[in-house]
């Protein structure tokens, strides 16, 4: 757990440092609010939807480590290349959008395989606690990366030096990944077969179906993801309304990542003690974000950003613990892939819709998100009662 946590720490410095300035970067390249919402929403969708391919591929081939390393390599390469986009003139916006999507696809390639490796380790100490501890280490990097970017922006007056500097933690992450791979064996996949009701018959390994409770849970959390506006749109609002300078956006993002770490640890412990009921707090968290984050004062926006971070922390840790508990071990990568694909569809629809509604009316955006989260809460309640 600790080894993967340190790798994630370094990798998170890279992509979370970059995500903290996606809004201001795209705006500086000529993007509108709709374009920012579309690019960042599509990026999150790519990071999730493509897992429906990489998850089953990991289970089918057993190449968990290979997919993990390829995914991290995409992130380590694409993020520093964003530093050159301000020099490309009219092609800068399209290039930045492509690199953002490629980086997020790297996340999709590695995540189901990495989550399976993590679940194997976390099962020895408690699923909620293990994934919570990993998420906390992960968030140290998510906190440090934006701080590094903010410092370099403040010192240079430009965004590109901060992005270029992220090549260093990217290289460190790849080195640590290679070293960890050499020390740990590949997971052993235990084939299973579908129960037939008798003790005889064919012993050929066959895949068991994913349970209906998992599918209901995936749909409910997809509705949560659809309502969780991207930080790209939040930072766009804060900078365009002159509530914070450009260097202030990554500082707020760092604070959000600290809130994510605390939320992951807290809800992970509660999950192990009380079960999945703790996840019923997710829809109210998501619903509160736009009402605060898109306010006209920094005093309102800061709590909104912190709640956004807490919601992200729960989604990236404790939610995954329930996925691991709902499905058989040999189907976890597949389940994580399908789960993420549904979340990705929610992220894409939500990102585009949020950008469009934001340009028309912030109160309307608040109302729409609240309505979607009411539906999500009802769906999660139906799962928790049966779990």
pLDDT at 195: 41
Q: How many domains, in total, are found in the chain?
A: 1
Q: What is the CATH number of the domain that holds 282?
A: 1.20.1250.20
In a domain, 205, yes or no: no
In a domain, 203, yes or no: no
pLDDT at 135: 66
H/E/C letters for each residue in the chain? CHHHHHHHHHHHHHHHHHHCCHHHHHHHCCCCHHHHHHHHHHHHHHHHHCHHHHHHHHHHHCCHHHHHHHHHHHHHHHHHHHHHHHHCHHHHHHHHHHHHHHHHHHHHHHHHHHHHHHHHHHCCCCHHHHHHHHHHHHHHHHHHHHHHHHHHHHHHCCCHHHHHHCHHHHHHHHHHHHHHHHHCCCCCCCCCCCCCCCCCCCCCCCCCCCCHHHHHHHHHHHHHHHHCCCHHHHHHHHHHCCCCCCCHHHHHHHHHHHHHHHHHHHHHHHHHHHCHHHHHHHHHHHHHHHHHHCCCCHHHHHHHHHHHHHHHHHHHCHHHHHHHHHCCHHHHHHHHHHHHHHHHHHHHHHHHHHHHHHHHCHHHHHHHHHHHHHHHHHHHHHHHCCC
In a domain, 245, yes or no: yes
pLDDT at 131: 59
Containing structural domain, residue 303: 2-186+210-384
In a domain, 204, yes or no: no
Residues of the chain with pLDDT under 50: 188-205
pLDDT at 200: 46
In a domain, 196, yes or no: no
């Amino acid at each position: 757990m600790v080894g993967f946590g340190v790798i994630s720490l370094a990798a998170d410095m890279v992509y979370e440092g970059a995500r903290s300035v996606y809004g201001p970067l795209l705006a500086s390249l000529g993007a509108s609010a709709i374009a920012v919402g579309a690019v960042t929403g599509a990026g999150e969708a790519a990071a999730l939807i493509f897992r429906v391919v990489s998850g089953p591929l990991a289970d089918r081939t057993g190449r968990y480590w290979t997919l993990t390393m390829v995914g991290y390599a995409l992130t380590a390469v694409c993020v520093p290349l964003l530093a050159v986009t301000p020099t490309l003139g009219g092609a800068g916006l399209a290039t930045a959008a492509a690199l953002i999507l490629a980086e997020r696809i790297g996340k999709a390639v590695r995540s189901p395989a990495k989550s399976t490796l993590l679940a194997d380790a976390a099962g020895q100490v408690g699923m909620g606690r293990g994934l919570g501890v990993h998420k906390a280490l992960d968030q140290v990097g998510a906190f440090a990366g934006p701080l590094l970017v903010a410092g370099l922006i403040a010192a240079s007056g430009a965004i590109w030096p901060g992005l270029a500097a992220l090549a260093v933690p990217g290289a460190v992450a790849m080195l640590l990944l290679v070293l960890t791979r050499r020390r740990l064996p590949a997971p052993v996949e235990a084939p299973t077969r579908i129960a037939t009701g008798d003790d005889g018959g064919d012993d050929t390994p066959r895949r068991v179906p994913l349970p209906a409770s998992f599918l209901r849970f995936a749909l409910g959390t997809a509705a949560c993801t659809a309502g969780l506006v991207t930080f790209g749109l939040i930072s766009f609002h804060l900078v365009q309304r002159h509530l914070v300078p450009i260097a202030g956006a990554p500082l707020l993002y760092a604070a959000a990542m600290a809130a994510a770490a605390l939320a992951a640890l807290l809800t992970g412990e509660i999950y192990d003690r009380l079960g999945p009921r703790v996840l019923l707090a997710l829809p109210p968290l998501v619903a509160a974000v736009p009402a605060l984050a898109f306010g006209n004062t920094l005093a309102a926006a800061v709590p909104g950003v912190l709640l956004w971070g807490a919601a992200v922390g729960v989604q990236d840790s404790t939610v995954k613990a329930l996925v691991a508990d709902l499905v058989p071990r040999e189907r976890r990568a597949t389940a994580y892939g399908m789960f993420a694909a549904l979340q990705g569809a929610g992220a894409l629809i939500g990102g585009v819709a949020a950008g469009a509604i934001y340009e028309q009316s912030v109160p309307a955006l608040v109302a729409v998100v609240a309505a979607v989260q009411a539906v999500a809460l009802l769906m999660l309640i139906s799962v928790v009662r049966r779990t």
